[in-house]
Structure 1
């Protein structure tokens, strides 16, 4: 499902938003609970598939541009 690097990036993003005052801890917790609730519905897997496909496309494009 979710890859470890994506989880790390999202965790760092949440940490940064709290640290720099753009988001409160309560907002991050609500986002986590909402994400977990969404993942258990029928809507979660298609969204995850779309995000995974988009991230693979971006990584492939960056990889081919660097070569």
Structure 2
């Protein structure tokens, strides 16, 4: 089931402008620490507000991701 997440981009860990694939570190209200958000995003800049729809996954190498 898809969930909704909203927050401020604290850091762009990775972004491929050719494919739009991005790995973001996002501060989400009500959550402790930064959340890793992974997916397609045409552009990403620290300080921007981001909204995402998806699901939580536990990656063996990178831990919890949205």
TM range (shorter): under 0.3
TM norm structure 1: 0.21
**Which structure has the larger Rg?**
1
Normalized per residue, the structure richer in strand is 2
Higher normalized contact order (CA 8 Å, seq sep 6+, divided by chain length): 2
Normalized per residue, the structure richer in helix is 1
TM norm structure 2: 0.21
